[in-house]
A and B are shown apart, each in its own frame.
Chain A
Amino acid sequence: MYFIDPHVHMVSRVTDDYERMRRMGCVAVSEPAFWAGFDRGSVDGFRDYFRQLTEFEPTRAGWSGVQHYTWLCINAKEAENVELSRGVIEMIPEFLNKPGVLGIGEIGLNKNTPNECTIFREHLELAAKTNELVLIHTPHLVDKYKGTRMIVDMLQERNDIPPHRVLIDHVEEHTVKVAKDGGYWCAMTLYPTTKCTPARAADIIERYGDDHIMVNSAGDWGPSNPCAVPDFIQEMRHRGHSEAKIRKIVYENPLEFFRQCERFEFTPPE
Protein backbone atom coordinates (compact mmCIF):
# COMPACT_ATOMS: atom_id res chain seq x y z
CA MET A 1 0.00 0.00 0.00
CA TYR A 2 1.21 3.52 -0.81
CA PHE A 3 1.63 5.75 2.23
CA ILE A 4 2.79 9.22 3.25
CA ASP A 5 4.80 9.80 6.42
CA PRO A 6 3.60 13.28 7.42
CA HIS A 7 6.17 13.78 10.18
CA VAL A 8 9.71 12.47 9.85
CA HIS A 9 13.05 14.22 10.37
CA MET A 10 14.90 12.88 7.36
CA VAL A 11 17.97 15.12 7.73
CA SER A 12 18.83 12.82 10.67
CA ARG A 13 18.44 9.66 8.61
CA VAL A 14 20.57 8.02 5.95
CA THR A 15 19.72 7.50 2.28
CA ASP A 16 19.23 3.79 3.00
CA ASP A 17 16.19 4.80 5.07
CA TYR A 18 14.66 6.56 2.05
CA GLU A 19 15.30 3.40 0.05
CA ARG A 20 13.69 1.14 2.67
CA MET A 21 10.74 3.52 3.08
CA ARG A 22 10.17 3.65 -0.68
CA ARG A 23 10.34 -0.15 -0.92
CA MET A 24 7.63 -0.34 1.75
CA GLY A 25 5.36 2.02 -0.20
CA CYS A 26 6.30 5.50 0.99
CA VAL A 27 5.63 8.04 -1.77
CA ALA A 28 6.03 11.29 0.20
CA VAL A 29 7.29 12.65 3.51
CA SER A 30 6.80 15.94 5.29
CA GLU A 31 9.61 17.11 7.50
CA PRO A 32 9.01 19.66 10.26
CA ALA A 33 11.91 21.78 11.48
CA PHE A 34 13.03 20.57 14.91
CA TRP A 35 15.74 20.38 17.55
CA ALA A 36 19.15 19.12 16.39
CA GLY A 37 20.11 17.64 19.77
CA PHE A 38 21.93 20.84 20.74
CA ASP A 39 20.87 24.49 20.87
CA ARG A 40 21.94 26.41 17.78
CA GLY A 41 23.74 29.68 18.34
CA SER A 42 22.57 32.01 15.59
CA VAL A 43 19.93 32.94 13.05
CA ASP A 44 22.42 31.99 10.34
CA GLY A 45 22.57 28.46 11.79
CA PHE A 46 18.82 28.20 11.16
CA ARG A 47 19.13 29.79 7.72
CA ASP A 48 21.53 26.99 6.73
CA TYR A 49 19.18 24.38 8.22
CA PHE A 50 16.24 25.82 6.23
CA ARG A 51 18.36 25.67 3.06
CA GLN A 52 19.05 22.02 3.78
CA LEU A 53 15.30 21.39 4.32
CA THR A 54 14.21 23.22 1.17
CA GLU A 55 17.08 22.52 -1.23
CA PHE A 56 19.22 19.45 -0.61
CA GLU A 57 16.76 17.24 1.26
CA PRO A 58 14.09 17.23 -1.52
CA THR A 59 16.87 16.35 -3.98
CA ARG A 60 18.14 13.48 -1.83
CA ALA A 61 14.57 12.18 -1.29
CA GLY A 62 14.05 12.32 -5.04
CA TRP A 63 16.94 9.88 -5.60
CA SER A 64 14.74 7.24 -3.97
CA GLY A 65 11.52 8.38 -5.63
CA VAL A 66 10.13 10.00 -2.48
CA GLN A 67 8.52 13.46 -2.65
CA HIS A 68 9.74 15.71 0.16
CA TYR A 69 7.84 18.57 1.84
CA THR A 70 8.85 20.67 4.81
CA TRP A 71 7.73 23.00 7.62
CA LEU A 72 9.74 25.89 9.07
CA CYS A 73 10.07 27.30 12.60
CA ILE A 74 12.25 27.39 15.67
CA ASN A 75 11.21 24.47 17.89
CA ALA A 76 9.85 24.78 21.43
CA LYS A 77 13.08 23.65 23.10
CA GLU A 78 15.12 26.46 21.55
CA ALA A 79 12.22 28.91 22.09
CA GLU A 80 13.59 29.41 25.61
CA ASN A 81 16.02 31.78 23.88
CA VAL A 82 13.44 34.46 23.05
CA GLU A 83 15.85 36.80 21.27
CA LEU A 84 17.18 34.10 18.95
CA SER A 85 13.62 32.87 18.33
CA ARG A 86 12.48 36.32 17.27
CA GLY A 87 15.40 36.55 14.85
CA VAL A 88 14.48 33.18 13.32
CA ILE A 89 10.77 34.09 13.03
CA GLU A 90 11.76 37.28 11.24
CA MET A 91 13.94 35.30 8.79
CA ILE A 92 11.41 32.51 7.98
CA PRO A 93 9.57 34.51 5.24
CA GLU A 94 12.77 34.31 3.10
CA PHE A 95 11.86 30.64 2.60
CA LEU A 96 8.05 30.67 2.55
CA ASN A 97 7.73 30.75 -1.21
CA LYS A 98 10.08 27.85 -1.85
CA PRO A 99 8.42 24.81 -3.44
CA GLY A 100 7.70 22.05 -0.93
CA VAL A 101 7.24 24.36 2.06
CA LEU A 102 3.87 23.51 3.61
CA GLY A 103 3.75 26.02 6.45
CA ILE A 104 4.91 26.80 9.99
CA GLY A 105 5.97 23.87 12.19
CA GLU A 106 6.54 22.02 14.34
CA ILE A 107 5.78 24.78 16.80
CA GLY A 108 4.22 24.21 20.22
CA LEU A 109 5.25 23.53 23.77
CA ASN A 110 7.86 21.30 25.39
CA LYS A 111 7.86 22.07 29.14
CA ASN A 112 4.87 24.45 29.05
CA THR A 113 6.96 27.49 30.08
CA PRO A 114 6.06 31.19 29.64
CA ASN A 115 8.85 31.69 27.05
CA GLU A 116 7.58 28.76 25.01
CA CYS A 117 4.09 30.31 25.08
CA THR A 118 5.46 33.69 23.96
CA ILE A 119 7.25 32.18 20.96
CA PHE A 120 4.33 29.88 20.11
CA ARG A 121 2.02 32.91 19.94
CA GLU A 122 4.54 34.82 17.78
CA HIS A 123 4.73 31.88 15.34
CA LEU A 124 0.91 31.89 15.18
CA GLU A 125 1.05 35.60 14.39
CA LEU A 126 3.42 34.86 11.48
CA ALA A 127 1.20 32.00 10.22
CA ALA A 128 -1.88 34.24 10.34
CA LYS A 129 -0.12 37.12 8.59
CA THR A 130 1.25 34.90 5.81
CA ASN A 131 -1.79 32.59 5.61
CA GLU A 132 0.28 29.45 6.24
CA LEU A 133 -0.79 26.04 7.56
CA VAL A 134 0.35 25.19 11.09
CA LEU A 135 1.86 21.93 12.41
CA ILE A 136 1.94 21.65 16.20
CA HIS A 137 4.17 19.56 18.45
CA THR A 138 2.58 18.65 21.79
CA PRO A 139 4.79 17.85 24.80
CA HIS A 140 5.66 14.36 25.96
CA LEU A 141 4.76 12.35 29.05
CA VAL A 142 3.63 14.26 32.16
CA ASP A 143 3.44 17.59 30.26
CA LYS A 144 1.31 16.40 27.34
CA TYR A 145 -2.24 16.85 28.62
CA LYS A 146 -1.68 20.25 30.19
CA GLY A 147 0.40 21.43 27.21
CA THR A 148 -2.18 20.30 24.66
CA ARG A 149 -4.93 22.16 26.54
CA MET A 150 -2.73 25.28 26.74
CA ILE A 151 -1.98 25.08 23.00
CA VAL A 152 -5.68 24.91 22.18
CA ASP A 153 -6.35 27.84 24.54
CA MET A 154 -3.73 29.92 22.70
CA LEU A 155 -5.13 28.94 19.28
CA GLN A 156 -8.54 30.06 20.50
CA GLU A 157 -7.21 33.43 21.65
CA ARG A 158 -7.40 34.44 17.98
CA ASN A 159 -9.91 33.98 15.17
CA ASP A 160 -7.71 34.37 12.10
CA ILE A 161 -6.40 30.77 11.96
CA PRO A 162 -9.25 28.35 11.12
CA PRO A 163 -8.96 25.02 13.02
CA HIS A 164 -9.01 22.95 9.80
CA ARG A 165 -5.69 24.61 8.83
CA VAL A 166 -3.98 23.36 12.00
CA LEU A 167 -2.59 19.87 12.70
CA ILE A 168 -2.07 18.91 16.36
CA ASP A 169 0.56 16.19 16.48
CA HIS A 170 1.57 13.43 18.92
CA VAL A 171 -1.99 12.97 20.23
CA GLU A 172 -2.62 9.99 22.52
CA GLU A 173 -5.59 8.48 24.37
CA HIS A 174 -6.05 11.50 26.65
CA THR A 175 -5.52 14.29 24.10
CA VAL A 176 -7.09 13.08 20.86
CA LYS A 177 -10.51 14.35 21.91
CA VAL A 178 -9.11 17.75 22.87
CA ALA A 179 -7.83 18.17 19.29
CA LYS A 180 -10.87 16.69 17.56
CA ASP A 181 -13.41 18.65 19.61
CA GLY A 182 -11.63 21.87 18.63
CA GLY A 183 -12.05 21.01 14.93
CA TYR A 184 -8.30 20.52 14.38
CA TRP A 185 -6.58 17.84 12.35
CA CYS A 186 -4.52 15.48 14.48
CA ALA A 187 -1.76 12.90 14.16
CA MET A 188 -0.49 9.99 16.22
CA THR A 189 3.22 9.31 16.48
CA LEU A 190 4.49 5.74 16.49
CA TYR A 191 7.59 6.09 18.60
CA PRO A 192 9.25 3.74 21.07
CA THR A 193 8.65 4.39 24.81
CA THR A 194 7.41 7.97 24.91
CA LYS A 195 4.55 7.99 22.41
CA CYS A 196 2.07 5.61 20.75
CA THR A 197 2.45 2.01 19.55
CA PRO A 198 0.83 0.73 16.32
CA ALA A 199 -1.70 -1.24 18.43
CA ARG A 200 -2.69 1.77 20.55
CA ALA A 201 -2.92 3.95 17.43
CA ALA A 202 -5.30 1.38 15.92
CA ASP A 203 -7.30 1.40 19.19
CA ILE A 204 -7.63 5.20 18.96
CA ILE A 205 -8.88 4.91 15.37
CA GLU A 206 -11.44 2.32 16.49
CA ARG A 207 -12.65 4.62 19.28
CA TYR A 208 -12.54 8.01 17.56
CA GLY A 209 -12.89 7.22 13.83
CA ASP A 210 -10.70 7.88 10.80
CA ASP A 211 -11.61 11.49 9.97
CA HIS A 212 -8.98 14.25 10.15
CA ILE A 213 -6.40 11.94 11.66
CA MET A 214 -3.11 10.48 10.40
CA VAL A 215 -0.13 8.52 11.70
CA ASN A 216 3.59 9.23 11.48
CA SER A 217 6.93 7.83 12.60
CA ALA A 218 8.50 11.12 13.79
CA GLY A 219 11.74 9.31 12.89
CA ASP A 220 14.70 11.43 13.99
CA TRP A 221 18.24 11.08 15.41
CA GLY A 222 16.97 9.27 18.55
CA PRO A 223 15.70 5.69 18.85
CA SER A 224 12.91 5.70 16.25
CA ASN A 225 11.73 3.78 13.23
CA PRO A 226 11.10 5.52 9.89
CA CYS A 227 9.19 2.42 8.77
CA ALA A 228 6.66 2.64 11.64
CA VAL A 229 3.73 3.60 9.38
CA PRO A 230 3.88 0.20 7.61
CA ASP A 231 3.76 -1.41 11.09
CA PHE A 232 0.48 0.45 11.68
CA ILE A 233 -0.84 -0.68 8.28
CA GLN A 234 0.00 -4.26 9.22
CA GLU A 235 -1.72 -3.95 12.63
CA MET A 236 -4.89 -2.57 10.98
CA ARG A 237 -4.87 -5.47 8.48
CA HIS A 238 -4.43 -8.00 11.28
CA ARG A 239 -7.58 -6.61 12.86
CA GLY A 240 -9.53 -7.00 9.63
CA HIS A 241 -9.95 -3.32 8.75
CA SER A 242 -10.57 -2.59 5.07
CA GLU A 243 -7.82 -1.47 2.70
CA ALA A 244 -9.91 1.62 1.91
CA LYS A 245 -10.05 2.64 5.58
CA ILE A 246 -6.30 2.13 6.05
CA ARG A 247 -5.50 4.03 2.87
CA LYS A 248 -7.64 6.95 4.04
CA ILE A 249 -5.52 7.30 7.21
CA VAL A 250 -2.05 6.77 5.74
CA TYR A 251 -2.49 8.40 2.32
CA GLU A 252 -5.66 10.36 1.63
CA ASN A 253 -5.88 12.24 4.93
CA PRO A 254 -2.36 13.73 4.75
CA LEU A 255 -3.04 14.74 1.12
CA GLU A 256 -6.33 16.39 2.08
CA PHE A 257 -4.59 18.40 4.80
CA PHE A 258 -1.57 19.36 2.65
CA ARG A 259 -3.75 20.41 -0.32
CA GLN A 260 -4.88 23.42 1.70
CA CYS A 261 -1.43 24.85 1.03
CA GLU A 262 -1.47 26.73 -2.29
CA ARG A 263 2.12 25.73 -3.12
CA PHE A 264 1.44 22.01 -2.61
CA GLU A 265 2.16 20.00 -5.75
CA PHE A 266 2.03 16.22 -5.68
CA THR A 267 2.55 13.60 -8.35
CA PRO A 268 0.48 10.50 -7.51
CA PRO A 269 2.28 7.16 -7.97
CA GLU A 270 1.43 5.31 -11.22
Chain B
Amino acid sequence: MPAKTADAILDRHFLELRCEILNLAAALDRIERSVGFDGVRDDGRVELLRQGIDILRTGGTDRAERVQMLFSDEYQAGWNQ
Protein backbone atom coordinates (compact mmCIF):
# COMPACT_ATOMS: atom_id res chain seq x y z
CA MET B 1 0.00 0.00 0.00
CA PRO B 2 1.12 3.58 -0.54
CA ALA B 3 2.04 5.13 2.81
CA LYS B 4 0.13 8.37 2.02
CA THR B 5 -3.58 9.16 1.58
CA ALA B 6 -5.25 9.44 -1.81
CA ASP B 7 -5.79 13.13 -1.17
CA ALA B 8 -2.09 13.76 -0.51
CA ILE B 9 -1.10 11.80 -3.61
CA LEU B 10 -3.54 13.74 -5.78
CA ASP B 11 -2.14 17.00 -4.41
CA ARG B 12 1.39 15.93 -5.20
CA HIS B 13 0.66 14.74 -8.73
CA PHE B 14 -2.15 16.95 -10.03
CA LEU B 15 -0.04 19.49 -11.92
CA GLU B 16 2.30 16.83 -13.25
CA LEU B 17 -0.66 14.77 -14.57
CA ARG B 18 -2.26 17.87 -16.09
CA CYS B 19 1.03 18.49 -17.87
CA GLU B 20 1.21 14.89 -19.13
CA ILE B 21 -2.32 15.13 -20.57
CA LEU B 22 -1.36 18.39 -22.29
CA ASN B 23 1.75 16.79 -23.76
CA LEU B 24 -0.35 13.95 -25.11
CA ALA B 25 -2.99 16.34 -26.52
CA ALA B 26 -0.38 18.57 -28.16
CA ALA B 27 1.48 15.62 -29.73
CA LEU B 28 -1.78 14.21 -31.16
CA ASP B 29 -2.60 17.70 -32.53
CA ARG B 30 0.88 17.91 -34.06
CA ILE B 31 0.38 14.63 -35.89
CA GLU B 32 -3.08 15.66 -37.11
CA ARG B 33 -2.05 19.08 -38.46
CA SER B 34 1.03 17.78 -40.25
CA VAL B 35 1.43 16.95 -43.94
CA GLY B 36 0.30 13.43 -44.76
CA PHE B 37 -2.00 12.92 -41.79
CA ASP B 38 -4.45 11.01 -43.98
CA GLY B 39 -1.75 8.41 -44.53
CA VAL B 40 -1.37 7.66 -40.81
CA ARG B 41 -5.03 8.04 -39.78
CA ASP B 42 -5.36 4.24 -39.86
CA ASP B 43 -1.79 3.46 -38.75
CA GLY B 44 -1.89 0.64 -36.20
CA ARG B 45 0.14 2.74 -33.74
CA VAL B 46 -2.45 5.53 -33.77
CA GLU B 47 -5.13 2.93 -33.03
CA LEU B 48 -3.00 1.56 -30.15
CA LEU B 49 -2.72 5.07 -28.70
CA ARG B 50 -6.51 5.44 -28.92
CA GLN B 51 -6.99 2.14 -27.13
CA GLY B 52 -4.44 3.18 -24.50
CA ILE B 53 -6.41 6.35 -23.84
CA ASP B 54 -9.58 4.25 -23.52
CA ILE B 55 -7.87 2.17 -20.81
CA LEU B 56 -7.12 5.37 -18.87
CA ARG B 57 -10.84 6.19 -18.89
CA THR B 58 -11.68 2.94 -17.06
CA GLY B 59 -11.38 2.44 -13.30
CA GLY B 60 -9.30 -0.01 -11.30
CA THR B 61 -5.80 -0.38 -9.90
CA ASP B 62 -4.19 -2.22 -12.83
CA ARG B 63 -4.37 0.32 -15.66
CA ALA B 64 -0.57 0.48 -16.04
CA GLU B 65 -0.46 -3.30 -16.43
CA ARG B 66 -3.29 -3.25 -18.99
CA VAL B 67 -1.56 -0.51 -21.01
CA GLN B 68 1.62 -2.61 -20.96
CA MET B 69 -0.29 -5.64 -22.26
CA LEU B 70 -1.88 -3.52 -24.99
CA PHE B 71 1.61 -2.66 -26.30
CA SER B 72 2.88 -6.28 -26.04
CA ASP B 73 3.33 -9.05 -28.59
CA GLU B 74 1.13 -12.07 -27.96
CA TYR B 75 2.63 -15.06 -26.14
CA GLN B 76 1.78 -18.56 -27.37
CA ALA B 77 1.76 -21.13 -24.57
CA GLY B 78 3.45 -24.38 -25.57
CA TRP B 79 5.69 -22.67 -28.18
CA ASN B 80 8.61 -24.87 -27.10
CA GLN B 81 6.85 -28.24 -27.20
> Measuring CB to CB, which residues of chain A are less than 8 angstroms from any residue of chain B?
112, 117, 141-146, 149-150, 153-154, 157, 172-174, 200, 203, 206-207, 238-241
> Which A-chain residue is minimally distant from B81 (CB atoms)?
A153
Asked whether B80 lies within 8 Å of A150 as measured between CB atoms, the reply is yes
Known: A173-B64, A173-B65. A157 touches B73 (CB 8 A): no
User: Which A residues lie within 8 Å of B65 (CB)?
Assistant: 173-174
| Chain B 56-77 residues near chain A, CB threshold 8 A | 61-62, 64-65, 68-69, 71-75, 77
B1-31 interface bits toward A, Cβ cutoff 8 Å, 1 = contact, 0 = none: 1111000000010000000000000000000
- Take A145-B75, A146-B73, A157-B80 as given contacts and tell me if A173 and B1 are in contact as well, using a CB distance cutoff of 8 Å: no
Set of chain B residues within 8 Å of A145, measured between Cβ atoms = 68-69, 72-73, 75
Interface contacts (Cβ under 8 Å), in number, total 48
Tell me the minimal C-beta distance from A115 to chain B in angstroms.
Answer: 15
Most interface-central of B62, B69, B80 (chain A CB within 10 A): B80
Contact partners of B64 in chain A: CB under 8 A: 173, 200, 203
- Within the complex, what minimum Cβ distance (angstroms) separates B23 from chain A? 14
Q: Which of B68, B74, B75, B79 contacts A172 (CB 8 A)?
A: B68
User: For A241, what are the chain B residues with a Cβ–Cβ distance below 8 Å?
Assistant: 3
A2 CB to nearest B CB, Å = 22
Smallest CB gap from A177: residue in B: B65
- 18 CB < 8 A contacts A-B: A112-B73, A142-B72, A142-B73, A144-B72, A145-B69, A145-B72, A146-B72, A146-B73, A146-B74, A149-B75, A153-B80, A154-B80, A172-B68, A173-B65, A174-B65, A174-B69, A239-B2, A241-B3
